[in-house]
Amino acid sequence: MPTGSMTQAIDVGGLTFSGTLTRTLTGQVGHSVTLPAGKSCIRTATGANTLATGHGLVAGNVIDVHWSDPTDGTHKCRRGITIDTANANDVTFDEVPAGVGDALPVDGTALVIAVQVIIDTDFDGDLIGMIAVLSPQRAIAVFWDASVVLLAQKLVANEVFAWVSGLGVTNPLAGNPVAQIKATNGSVTAATLKIGLVYQSN
């Protein structure tokens, strides 16, 4: 049967701790998906400009907008914005239909915008025993059922987001079954997003 394992190594208090967590269940899911490089630009009152010629964005694209908080550098993201118009070096967008997530920043903020990549999947989050998500670049992965967001997880470059059952931490995907994952790259370098899990099938 499929087994998920996570090795831990911690140095703290002058001591070294190491061990491996394993969960053996009946099913598994694995996705390795290319997230195209995002597009660098500058926020304006009506959208974004200074996009490089040949950016490839068109009206109707659904994008996520990424930026760094100017006070502490944390990753911010406004999700699900529809491009209204696209020209050689700029795009326009607004909040109709409304985006979600962090409020858009002030004009003049450096942005990275990226078209959402939709990953078709099918598993019940209530049944997972272990899940891991990794991107080599800043990114976001949003887990959906048919119409509701179950988890919107921002990813730090090369830092694994993981959850393992039985550790006293609430399952972040408890609730409705997961039907798709919408992900975008928050950097201008292409990335391979990896998502793996084991679950107890019915």
Whether residue 157 sits in one domain with residue 106:
no
Out of 84, 115, 146, pick the residue that ends a domain.
115
Total tally of structural domains belonging to the chain: 2
Residue 99 lies in a domain: yes
Out of 115, 150, 176, pick the residue that ends a domain.
115
Taking each continuous run of H as one helix and of E as one strand, the counts in the chain are 0, 17
Strand pairing class (15-24; 27-35): unpaired
Residue 1 lies in a domain: no
Q: What is the mean pLDDT of residues 173-197?
A: 97
Dist CA 128 CA 31 (whole Å): 15
pLDDT digits (tens, 9 = 90+) for 68-116: 999 999 999 999 999 999 999 999 999 999 899 999 999 999 999 999 9
Name residue 49's beta-bridge partners.
42, 90
- Contacts of 192 by beta carbon, 8 Å cutoff, 6+ apart: 32, 33, 34, 35, 135, 136
Instruction: Evaluate if residue 202 carries a pLDDT over 90.
Output: no
Residue 7 lies in a domain: no
Please give the model's pTM, rounded to 2 decimal places.
Answer: 0.94
Residue 88 burial (CB count, 10 A): 9
pLDDT digits (tens, 9 = 90+) for 154-179: 999 999 999 999 999 999 999 989 99
Whether residue 186 sits in one domain with residue 121:
yes
Q: What is the mean pLDDT of residues 21-31?
A: 97
Out of 93, 115, 137, pick the residue that ends a domain.
115
Parent domain of 30: 25-34+117-199
Are 185 and 38 in contact by the 8 Å Cβ rule? The answer is yes
Q: What is the mean pLDDT of residues 130-143?
A: 98
SS3 52: coil
